[in-house]
């Protein structure tokens, strides 16, 4: 069957994403054009864009959102701010996609395809499983476990969620909520959705981030720029949200998250250390779980990192890998 590779731009990716119908699987937020554009604008210096689409019998079967440096091809993004990276393919065409992509990269002179932040259900692992059922993968592959992520399959109600927790953790969540009721004059959790309101809140969000000792050095000028354009680009697609917990009229904690295809992605959070005794940081995440259940979301993704609260709130660990394909 005739296969053709085409060079693409981020602008053409937006067009493919906007096309109606379920033809391509955009697996998560980190593969969306708005996310790729944001990362590229903030961190792309030193790389060359290498966006490719693959067509079989004039049918689009996949997109490889790649960049190049030093003879290697990489998926656009980096594992420090992109929890997962992936290709965009037509379901069931993963094997054909790599059968076309790998020889093409080899013919272009690339020596390696490097894929950070690969979930076990990524396009690459799906293709690898398919190849394992027939004669070998057409290149040498090396794997390394990179990190782990935590996800929670959401039930239909808050009480059903509490029932998923251990007896101890269920008691802790209820105890913290009762204490918040008892020890505050007033509190409220609400969601900021409108782009302008989110942009206005960004300085306050940065302040909450910097109040966290583990994140004191995280917010460099480059990272601030990245967060601003990321929130702007994702809000334009109606995907960005900020959940804000206010206590006695003050900003106590905030969560930056993304709502896409039935999944809530908890991307970053901060809290005012004044409200640490009230567990404001943890409760902002608990309120977001309740919000996700009420709106009918299927999955709550805590994203990468081994913070203990993720498993205590019901998250299940999923390994994340780095894969390198030698093309020579």
Q: What is the pLDDT of residues 94-142, one digit of tens each?
A: 989 999 999 999 999 999 999 999 999 999 998 887 766 566 666 688 9
pLDDT, residue 131, reads: 67
Say yes or no to pLDDT of 20 above 80: no
Q: What domains lie within the chain, and their CATH numbers?
A: 3-149+319-326 (3.40.630), 155-297 (3.40.630.30)
Torsion region of 104: left, alpha or beta (phi above 0 gives left; psi -120 to 50 gives alpha): alpha
- CA 101, CA 62: separation in Å to the nearest integer? 10
Q: How far apart are CA 26 and CA 239, in angstroms?
A: 14
Q: What is the DSSP string of 232-248?
A: HHHHHTT-EEEEEEEET
Give residues with Cβ within 8 angstroms of 107, minimum separation 6.
Answer: none
Sign, CA torsion 50/84/122/139: positive
CA distance 69 to 67: 7
180-184: long-range pairs with CB below 8 Å, 24+: 180/247, 180/278, 180/279, 180/283, 183/278, 184/247, 184/248, 184/278
Q: Could you give the angle at which helices 33-43 and 221-236 cross, rounded to 10 degrees? A: 160
Q: Which residues pair with 241 in a beta bridge?
A: 257
Residue 268, φ and ψ in degrees, nearest 5: -160, 160
Dist CA 75 CA 88 (whole Å): 11
pLDDT tens digits, residue range 199-257?
999 999 999 999 876 676 888 999 999 999 999 999 999 999 999 999 999 999 999 99
pLDDT at 324: 94
């Amino acid at each position: 069957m005739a296969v053709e590779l085409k060079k693409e731009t981020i602008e053409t990716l937006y067009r493919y994403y906007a096309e109606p119908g379920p033809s391509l699987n955009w697996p998560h937020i980190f593969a969306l054009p708005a996310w790729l554009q944001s990362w590229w604008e903030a961190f792309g210096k030193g790389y060359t864009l290498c966006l490719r689409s693959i067509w079989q019998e004039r049918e689009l079967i996949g997109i490889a959102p790649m960049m190049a440096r030093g003879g290697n091809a990489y998926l656009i993004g980096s594992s420090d701010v992109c929890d997962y990276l992936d290709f965009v393919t037509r379901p069931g065409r993963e094997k054909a996609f790599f059968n076309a992509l790998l020889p093409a990269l080899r013919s272009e002179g690339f020596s390696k395809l490097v894929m950070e932040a690969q979930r076990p259900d990524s396009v690459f692992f799906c293709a690898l499983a398919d190849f394992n059922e027939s004669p070998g993968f057409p290149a040498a592959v090396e794997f390394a476990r990179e990190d782990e992520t935590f996800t929670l399959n959401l039930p239909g109600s808050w009480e059903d969620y509490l029932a998923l927790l251990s007896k101890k953790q269920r008691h802790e969540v209820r105890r913290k909520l009762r204490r918040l009721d008892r020890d505050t004059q007033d509190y409220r959790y609400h969601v900021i959705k409108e782009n302008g309101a989110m942009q206005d809140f960004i300085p306050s969000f940065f302040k909450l981030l910097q109040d966290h000792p583990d994140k004191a050095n995280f917010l460099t000028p480059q990272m601030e720029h990245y967060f601003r354009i990321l929130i702007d680009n994702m809000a334009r697609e109606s995907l960005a949200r900020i959940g804000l917990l206010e206590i006695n009229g003050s900003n106590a904690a905030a969560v930056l998250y993304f709502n896409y295809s039935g999944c809530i992605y908890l991307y970053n959070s901060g809290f005012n250390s004044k409200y640490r005794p009230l567990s404001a940081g943890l409760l902002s995440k608990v309120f977001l779980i309740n919000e996700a259940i009420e709106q009918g979301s299927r999955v709550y993704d805590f994203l990468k990192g081994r913070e203990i609260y993720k498993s205590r709130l019901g998250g299940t660990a999923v390994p994340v890998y780095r894969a390198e394909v030698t093309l020579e």
